[in-house]
Every structure is written in structure tokens, then in C-alpha cells.
Structure 1
């Protein structure tokens, strides 16, 4: 098409600018990063020059201007991000599945260079309105944010539009409540005396004495128990997930590097392991079940097959149900209100164990190590949730004693 150095209105065109016979204006430039020539179009000269300003600003800031980069979607960026990271198979599967189900066909189709903070916030608000929990939205944010941060590092965009994240998104997480000392004692005493559930007593003592995560507990093997050093070694966990070949058991590394640890055993925990070994000898038919080279699992079904995480929770739910049924009957006979136990899960058992240690003023760094927390802030939450006024009164009394003795 014919081109002119002046437009029909007599305005002088700058270098790279042209007026076209179809009435549009164009601007051609070379990307110094790769030497490629590019052309942008506009219906009038003022709009073209606004585009030129943005292009020059991009070039000055070394923002990539290749057409393919400019058209990159958040989905494509996420693929690039995942290719740069090493994850455990279970973690990678979880990331990819969540992205496929929650992000891919929503905000994932947006171009990275066109994403604004308002787009990200609107998406998180949408998830909130759909009833997703805060933890789910935070998990999604923890995938989107680092991917966009990589785009900033690669000079694809200037700023990360997902920098801001509000704790107001999603349904508020359920407040975790540790068992009180009284509830814990009643719970264990009931199990110890119950004709059926007493077989689970050693496992519960071990859960409370080692603060293991559920996957770490069911993944324990006898080779992890050192009776001479009196320690429990944690360097793996057992998971039951679909990693592409249907739901199966897999051995996985702990959640974080901090999860690899050696936990000292109390005498009570040692006795519980001894009792568990005796139970296994009497009750478990096949003690040679093997998964990924690991065998000699401590906690199994009577058949010898491994326990799924929900099997541990079901045991706890059933025990609480039986206890509460008995407590209701006793309370009715005695003409009083029943003192029921709350719902107890493997996570609540771990939280309870951690709370007991915090109440005994275990050093915060030691507790962090035993729990396998990568960040001390997670451990601090336990200290911050210890019983309110009771804790305050005890601390004031302690200080009062120090002053008086001083």
C-alpha cells in the first residue's frame, strides 16, 4: 500500500510512522533483544503515538515485546513456571490438578501482559462467592503469585498484579481446638478400658507423644525405631493418591526439609511401641507388605495391608461416637448434663500433642524441630492459642512469685 511521510491533515510523521491508504496509521520498530521487526496499527495518529510511548517505555525497561510473549496466557506461564521447579510427585500432581479444575478455564485464559490487580482480586472474590475456603484460595494464590513473579524476573511484565492478597477471601477456616487436659485423659482412659478400641491405645499414645503427621505415622516402619538411642526417625511419609495410575499408596518425602527429623522417645512412647509390636504379632496376618522398597510397617490393618489416612480418622471418629453414646447414657442415669468429647481427627491429635508441649513451656525452637515446621510462625500459632485467662493468671502469678523471691 502507498505510504506517506505526512498524513492527509499535513501532520509530519516521525521515523517509523506511516499513514496507510486504508486510513490507518502504523508504526514499525525493531526489538533490540532479538532483532525482530514489529508493526503496530491505530485508527488515528494520537492513538498510535500513545502506543509508541508504551513500546518505547517497554524497550527502555527491557520488557520483552516478542508477539508470542505478548500473547502468552496465564496457563502458558504456569507451564513454564512448573518446568522450572522441582516438586515431589504428589505435590506436582496436586498443583496440576488444582490448576486444571480451578484456574485453567477461568483466569488462566487471560493474557499475562493484560492482567491487572483488579482481575486477580475479582477472581479471588468469585472463588469466595462460590463457597471455597480461605485455604483453597490461598493455595491457588501460592501458584499464581510465583508464576507472575517469574514473569517479572523475565521482563515480561513490570509488576506482579497478584502482590496483594487479603485474608478476607473465602470461608473462614474452622478454628482448631486442642483437647483440654481433662478431655485427653477421659479419651485415653475410655480407649484403654474398651473391649474393642483398646487395640488402638498404643497408636494414640504414640500420636500424642511424637506429634507425627498422619502420613508420617502410617508410614513408620520398625527400622525407623531405634530402641538403643530411644528415637523415632522421620524421613518419609505414606500417601494414598492418584498420581496418574489410579489411587495407590506411595512413599513420599516429608512436606518440607524440616520434616526430616529424629524425635526422642519418652518412656511412655517406648512402652507403647513395645505394646504395638506384641499386638502386631498376635493380630496381623501378613507383616511383610512392601511399598516402594519399604516394609515392616508398624500400623496396618489386621490383614497386613497399609492404613489409609482416612482409616486413622475413622478410628478416632468411632471412638468419640462410642464415648459420647456412653456418656449420654451415664448422664441420663445420674441426672446431669453430658460432657461430650468434640470431633477428634489425626490433625487434632497432633495439635493437642503440640499444645501439651507448649503448655509445659518446651523451648519454641525445640518444639518447631519436633513438629517438623519449616517456619517458626506456624509453631508460634500454638503458643498464641493457649487458653486465655487461665494462661494469663498463671503467668502473672509466676511473675509475682519472682518479684517476691527477688
Structure 2
């Protein structure tokens, strides 16, 4: 006599038996059928599987065959009800946060949650189409600002679209979509932003007006190096070689929503650089260091539990607050604006001092490659594209220089005999 438990085992074993290439097909205790198949591997190399349910074995086998055909054709999308907003949240935490700087992550997060999620976040990821993104682009250009008063710049919208492209590129790798629909969207035309930094005379007027300011050494070094604001305010004395007359960019000061003022590594490999500085800036740095040492002594300190604790919070910063703490970049920029006003100069952004440094060097005949290395641009193409507005004048100078070396003898005239 066959035991009932043995009959159940035989039935279960028969249910688990698979046809060739079918994947795993079995009947559940409730009578329904389940089919599972491996559709690839995730970023860690682990198998990714899909599961289908049905009332009969042929029903789940049909679903499995359809999935297998779509995989072969490259059109397979996992049967998921994940929305665009859900995938954006996953992408931010899983893929973006571990690989980019905190300030960059926060900018990604703000752009996606403020501009993308409210418009297309409710759409299922697998149902997202190019027209959804095209409408998003058009809307942002027309009235995309948070206050709805006007549209975003073409540059910002292009950046948002590129960010969506990254999000969907990862979704494609995960098998959540069968194509990156961002590739099919018409991008706003790139508008060349005309850079109009202070002229050499205006820069001299600015520096003279700033002569009595606490920030004069920082402004003078900016004129001499073209550092980014964060690089200037993150500069440490250990990164300054007063003997050789050079500074090295090794860190940057940034502000983040979650941590406030914090230090981070330079933006790119090219941003880590050493820049020789002119004698005027070197002399001022030496005097600045002497004054800073005096400030440390004047601040004094107090004895706590028998230990002397100085009031100066030494972060080894070249440019900082009077107590040694990092300087608020916004406050520093405000001081810059006040001196511009005092000197009667047009209002420009502090970043334009960086542009002024590059423009001045190019007009003085310096090779663009040298300018690229001083600025920390990733490629010389970026430098040339940024300062193309002054290249026509340089081309004319180059043409004139060619004439100075030309020495062609006059063609002799033929006499009739």
C-alpha cells in the first residue's frame, strides 16, 4: 500500500519537472502554476529572475516563451509596476550617492525631485515614452522655475535631460526598460554665454579699492591664479610653497544642505594641480601669514581642566575667519560685491575673476594649454570653447606675426632684347 505522503511527494516531483529550456515551472499548493526564468545578472553578478503566475501550466509556459522571445529580440521589460519616481529614488541612493560628491548628489536630488518627479513621476517606468520627456522639456523652458515665473535656461534643461538619461541608462542595464527614451528627445539649442570679465584697468581699480580690506590677499591670489571660489577658500598653508612661489590645489570648501560647510577633494583629476604665482602675490601671502600668526596670539585661549585651549580654531586655512573657522562663501562673495560698488565698477560674478585671469593670459600671448592647466579644465577643448570670444583677435595677431618672418625676394623682371 502506497502511503499518502509518498503520493504527495510524487505529485510534487512531477509538478517540478521542467521541459527543455522552460525554466522552472511548478504547481503551488493552492493549485496555481508558477514559472521562473533567469533573465540576466545584476551589477553584483547575481542572477536576476522573473516570475509568472497562471491557472494552468500552458498559461505560464506561454508567458515564459514570450519573455524568452523578447529577451532574444532585445525588447524584454520586466513585468514591474515601478513608477518613474520610485526608480529615481532608487537610482539616487543606490547608484548616484556612493560615486559623486555630496554637493553633486544634493544637486541631482534637487533637480530630479523638484523638476522631474512632479511632472512624470507617476508614470510606470516601463510605459515612459519620448513624448513624455519632450513635454517635460518644453514645459521647463516655458515656465519651469519653482515659482512658475518664467522658464529655466536652455543650459539647465539640457542638464536635467542629461541627468534623466543617466537614470534611464541604469534602468536599461537592469532590464526595467528596453531602451533609453531620453536619446530620442530634442534638446534645447545650446546658447553661448558671453563672458565679459573685468578689463585689466578695471581689475587694477578693483584691487586698489580692496587694498585695505581683510580679503585683499585672497582677491590678489585669485587675480594671480584663477582658482574656483571653493578652491581659494579651501587652500591650506601646507599647500603653499613660499620658497618656490607656488600653490597646490588639494581640497575645496563647499556648502551642503546636510552638513553645512565641509571640505572635499577637487572636482576632477585635472583639478588637482600646482600653480606658480607671481612675485606680488607671493609677497602678499608672506605678509598675510605674519598677520594671521599675530591674530592667533591676540585671541589667546583658556585653561580647561589643566589643558590650555586656544580660541583660534586652527584648520591650517590660508583664508578664513578671524577665529580660524572656514569662511562662508556667500559672505566672501558679498564682500567682493561691496568692493566692486565702492570702486564704481560694473557688477560681475566672483567667478568672472577666474575668467578674467584666463582672458588676460590669452591676450598676453600665453599658450592655451598653459591656461588649461592653470584653470584645471579637463581638456584644452573646454578652455578653447569657453574663451572662443577672444580667439578672433588672437588669430589676427598670429597672422601679423607670420608676416614678420616672411623673406621672399622680389621676382626679377625680364628685359626684352
Pick the TM interval, shorter chain: 0.7 to 0.9
Q: 1:135 to 1:308 in 2, by over 3 A?
A: farther
Q: 2:271 aligns with which of 249, 255, 259?
A: 259
- Distance of 1:35 and 1:308 partners within structure 2: 52
> Is structure 2 residue 224 aligned with structure 1 residue 209?
yes
Q: Would you say how many aligned residue pairs link Structure 1 and Structure 2?
A: 340
Tell me what 1:399 maps to: 402
The alpha-carbon deviation at position 97 of structure 1 amounts to 2.8
- Distance of 1:288 and 1:229 partners within structure 2: 32
> Is structure 2 residue 89 aligned with structure 1 residue 79?
yes
Shifted more, 393-402 versus 280-289: the winner is 280-289
Tell me what 1:110 maps to: 123
Tell me what 1:175 maps to: 194
Q: 1:54 to 1:349 in 2, by over 3 A?
A: farther
Q: 1:157 to 1:402 in 2, by over 3 A?
A: farther
**TM-score when scaled to structure 1?**
0.73
Tell me what 2:167 maps to: 147
Within 5 Å, give how 1:44-123 maps onto structure 2: 58-67=70-79, 70-82=80-92, 83-84=94-95, 85-123=98-136
> Is structure 2 residue 239 aligned with structure 1 residue 220?
no
The alpha-carbon deviation at position 142 of structure 1 amounts to 3.0
Secondary structure at 2:255's aligned position in 1?
A: strand
Shifted more, 390-399 versus 370-379: the winner is 390-399
- Distance of 1:53 and 1:231 partners within structure 2: 67
Higher alpha-carbon Rg: 2
* 2:217–2:285 contact (8 Å) kept in structure 1: yes
* 1:90–1:252 contact (8 Å) kept in structure 2: no
Q: 1:241 to 1:81 in 2, by over 3 A?
A: closer
> Is structure 2 residue 178 aligned with structure 1 residue 158?
yes
- Distance of 1:77 and 1:86 partners within structure 2: 17
> Is structure 2 residue 224 aligned with structure 1 residue 234?
no
Secondary structure at 1:109's aligned position in 2?
A: coil
- Distance of 2:50 and 2:333 partners within structure 1: 61
Q: 1:405 to 1:181 in 2, by over 3 A?
A: farther
Q: 2:210 aligns with which of 191, 212, 222?
A: 191
Tell me what 1:360 maps to: 364
- Distance of 1:222 and 1:112 partners within structure 2: 51
The alpha-carbon deviation at position 233 of structure 1 amounts to 1.6
* 1:213–1:346 contact (8 Å) kept in structure 2: no
- Distance of 2:140 and 2:130 partners within structure 1: 16
Q: 1:289 to 1:322 in 2, by over 3 A?
A: same
Tell me what 2:355 maps to: 351
* 1:288–1:296 contact (8 Å) kept in structure 2: no
Q: 1:89 to 1:35 in 2, by over 3 A?
A: closer
* 1:289–1:297 contact (8 Å) kept in structure 2: no
> Is structure 2 residue 51 aligned with structure 1 residue 36?
yes
Secondary structure at 2:256's aligned position in 1?
A: strand
Within 5 Å, give how 1:276-291 maps onto structure 2: 276-282=288-294, 290=313
* 2:77–2:175 contact (8 Å) kept in structure 1: no
Tell me what 1:370 maps to: 374
CA RMSD of aligned residues (A): 3.3
